[in-house]
Chains A and B, each alone.
Chain A
Amino acid sequence: NAGVTQTPKFQVLKTGQSMTLQCAQDMNHNSMYWYRQDPGMGLRLIYYSASEGTTDKGEVPNGYNVSRLNKREFSLRLESAAPSQTSVYFCASSGGTSWAAEEKLFFGSGTQLSVL
């Protein structure tokens, strides 16, 4: 039982390059999330998807785009990477279809991204 799988685990980009972080969950969850974690900043929500075909902005969406490809997969794209996007990125999922579902989050193992 894999849970939430993220790829890649590590990535180094040059400023201006683009890349897509992949995330897939096998728990038949409705909601999926992308967070970034920076030292001393906790976890900040980038984007959220309550169900296939829907996405919503979180606290820090600028510079990112997302795609909910199907119920299993939720990708995060950086179109033109900047040094400020150096961070650890976590994908997460939960069973509910809205914030009010009050369900726990299951996190992937994270992607460490460095933008030079």
Chain B
Amino acid sequence: GQQVMQIPQYQHVQEGEDFTTYCNSSTTLSNIQWYKQRPGGHPVFLIQLVKSGEVKKQKRLTFQFGEAKKNSSLHITATQTTDVGTYFCAARRRSNYKLTFGKGTLLTVNP
């Protein structure tokens, strides 16, 4: 089946530090979505990237889609305690368009 590798699995930072999570696929992707899940909550859609090399920003969050459409990243600048949670990428492969979730990166922030 389709594999979407997400790293790291865990990341602990001090408040104010930056954070990045990466999503990688061995096959070309149609698009990629990012979701955030707060502790005890449900996944909430953040953004979708479709174009090769696309970069989108939401306040302190920057999302990138690789030129080859095989990888993506989410970068948070100057983390805050409200950023705590698990960040998932979800990718669609060009050949079948089924949505596959990465295993997620759990971010904890020390105030």
Contacts and interface: CB of A to CB of B under 8 A. Distances in A.
Contacts of B72: none
Interface residues of A, number: 20
B interface SS class: strand
Contact of B103 (A40, A59, A106, A107): A40
Interface in B35-63: 35, 41-45, 48, 50
Contacts of A105: 33, 35, 43, 45, 90, 99
Interface residues of B, number: 25
A108 B43 CA distance: 9
A99 interface: yes
A98 B43 contact: no
B96 A99 contact: yes
B88 A42 contact: yes
Interface of A: 35, 40-45, 59, 90, 98-100, 102, 104-110
